[in-house]
Structure 1
């Protein structure tokens, strides 16, 4: 399996869905904990959950870039996913269900031929 932080190559819809669900769930938990920390003025906790939130957003963007590569689109389209919810959620759903390019493309070989998960 390629490095999760490497925005090169392609990933399948299934792998993207798994990464999306895991990271989106972590994002929601971090937002809730940040809100709790803000209410009780626990600034260290707020900062820690903020760092985790930004990190998972980066992981989501890298996964989205690799998924965009699978449907032969450039990384620049991933910037639309930075629009706040629910608009970005529509983009993530599109990436989950859009079928990838069959066979190799300019971003790499077909990930379905080598995918284990």
Structure 2
């Protein structure tokens, strides 16, 4: 005698439930999470670019100060130069993201006009 539904019945019911959930969520939920993940990646990239610029400036400045025995002159100078380079790189990244967004919106508008 059988106590209840078979394991195959459970598996088929679970698969049907997963399909219904996937259909209810649709592609929009995935798109939103992928977009959020992409924005987080861009934010981290920009932070890393700024910190890298500062770190490289610090290293060059400290190295030159150690070499010439003029400890804070080159250090301060190259930290500011590293900061400026980091900000410039961040701005370039922001411009790339903006251009991609504008191109995507233009493509969406063209698709809407064609429909």
Q: State which structure, 1 or 2, has the greater radius of gyration over its C-alpha atoms.
A: 2
- TM-score for both structures, normalised by structure 2: 0.38
- TM-score for both structures, normalised by structure 1: 0.37
* More RCO (CA 8 Å, sep 6+): 1
